[in-house]
Amino acid sequence: MIYRVLGVSAASLLFQACYGMPLDWMDDAAIRGTVLSGQTNGPIRGIQVSIKDIPSRAYTDQYGNFSIYVPLQDEYKLKFEDIDGPENGSYQIFKTRVDLTEASNPLQVYLEAADPAGSGAQ
């Protein structure tokens, strides 16, 4: 019996050393959504999604989708930023607050085109 316990413990430590901690090891939340153009309603790729005070970042894919895992909190301050410049159009920075119930549902975020004068931020 003791060898079984030691074997399972050793296997779990080896797994953790090779692959890291599983995402569900501690309380966490997945924030998912889609970033769309306010003018065309089409998806925008290459938008950086960041959350205040959390070092993780996500980027939208070709369909405008993103997913980011974060520590469980009551509220998140999200920032959507066009970091690739005019490659797929230029969009204004968008900041919003999301509470825990909103974070559990896929978000839809609409970005407006950047000001041609170059200010681009809200």
Q: What is the pLDDT of residues 39-56, one digit of tens each?
A: 999 999 999 999 999 998
Instruction: With respect to residue 96, please indicate whether it lies within any of the assigned structural domains.
Output: yes
Closest CA to 45 of 68, 28, 62, 26: 62
The pLDDT assigned to 3 comes to 52
Number of domains comprising the chain: 1
CATH number of the structural domain spanning residue 94: 2.60.40.1120
- What's the rounded Cα separation, in Å, for the pair 4 and 97? 48
Sign of CA dihedral 23, 29, 30, 35: negative
Instruction: With respect to residue 18, please indicate whether it lies within any of the assigned structural domains.
Output: no
pTM: 0.69
What is the extent of the structural domain holding 43? 26-111
From first to last of its 122 residues, the chain has per-residue pLDDT tens of 555 544 545 555 444 445 444 544 557 888 999 999 999 999 999 999 999 999 989 999 999 999 999 898 889 999 999 988 777 788 999 999 998 777 778 999 999 998 765 444 44
Instruction: With respect to residue 54, please indicate whether it lies within any of the assigned structural domains.
Output: yes
